Structure 1
Amino acid sequence: MTRLTKNSKILTTIIKAIQDKKGENIVSLDLRKIHEAVADFFVICEASTNTQVKAIADSVEQSVKETLGEAPYRHEGQQSAQWILIDYVNVVVHVMQPETRRFYKLEEMWSDAPMTNYES
């Protein structure tokens, strides 16, 4: 399987889809040098309501499908919409409400990974 780069089409498509739906505090974590990591990248963002969390997740899935013809390997969390996870195998997207993000602290858990911030 080919390793992704920071400029991979799937990563740029996901970031743009999040920005289009006004996702906030968007970061990507580059996990390629971390052996225990389950993916090459995590993309994490937040939204303040269940409705917006779901809209961002839907936008990501639709954009990746339209642009790259790829459906997620799996997704979880659509029911509660506190934290929706979209797994594209090499990239895992986390759309979270702010309190959920503060509680789980993914950025701290993966603090060895280089982090890139994106404009909201």
Structure 2
Amino acid sequence: MAQPSRAIRPHGVEYSRKLATAAAKVALENKGQDVMVLDVCGQTAEFDLFVFATGSSRRQLHAISEQIDDVLEKTLGDQRLGIEGYQDSHWIVLDYGSVVIHLFDEETREYYDLESLWADGKPIPLEELGLKPNA
């Protein structure tokens, strides 16, 4: 039995997993590094999952961000609720309600270390989502 979502937009955890999987897939296809999906359902009622990815340039981070928006809107019919950091491009945050996508440059990801901050979350192996990590 699927666990119900406690997130702001409670479409269920399975729907959140679809969003996160699609976002992670876009990041991988655009050569994002260290792509990770983290289940934070047990830590907060605000959202279900985080997606993390690292990009090597402003251009790459913008491309990943824009393509995630495109895929989630056109394929899944979802609308982004907010975006932060796009202009500075060190840390872009895409808010989809139940899923929050964090796109970092390497230095910023290392500095903020959200994976440690949310260490009680459960990493979801990309293979479990039908994705193949970049080598």
Task: Flag whether TM exceeds 0.5 (same fold).
Answer: yes
2:99 aligns with 91
- Give SS of 2:14's match: coil
- Residue of structure 1 aligned with 2:109, choices 97, 101, 107: 101
For residues 14 and 81 of structure 2, what CA distance do their matches in structure 1 show?
20
State the Cα distance separating 1:14 from its structure 2 match: 1.0
| Range with greater deviation from structure 2 (55-64 or 109-118) | 109-118
1:73 aligns with 81
**Unpaired stretches in structure 1, ≥5 consecutive residues:** none
For residues 72 and 107 of structure 1, what CA distance do their matches in structure 2 show?
23
- Indicate conservation of the 8 Å contact 1:29/1:115, yes or no: yes
Q: Show CA shifts across 1:23-63 (max 9, x none).
A: 110001100111x3531001001011111111111111111
Q: TM-score, normalised by structure 2?
A: 0.81
State the superposition RMSD in angstroms: 1.6
- Give SS of 1:38's match: coil
Q: RCO (CA 8 Å, sep 6+): is it higher in 1 or 2?
A: 1
For residues 23 and 86 of structure 1, what CA distance do their matches in structure 2 show?
15
Identity percentage of aligned residues: 30
Q: TM-score, normalised by structure 1?
A: 0.91
Aligned: 1:27 with 2:36: yes
Larger radius of gyration: 2
| Range with greater deviation from structure 2 (74-83 or 109-118) | 109-118
| Range with greater deviation from structure 2 (64-73 or 89-98) | 64-73
- Indicate conservation of the 8 Å contact 1:39/1:90, yes or no: yes
- Give SS of 2:60's match: helix
- Residue of structure 1 aligned with 2:55, choices 47, 52, 67: 47
**Relative to structure 1, is the Cα distance of residues 94 and 58 closer, same or farther in structure 2, using a 3 angstrom cutoff?**
same
- Indicate conservation of the 8 Å contact 1:64/1:71, yes or no: yes
- Indicate conservation of the 8 Å contact 1:26/1:117, yes or no: no
Aligned: 1:12 with 2:16: no
Counterpart amino acid of residue 14 in structure 1: A
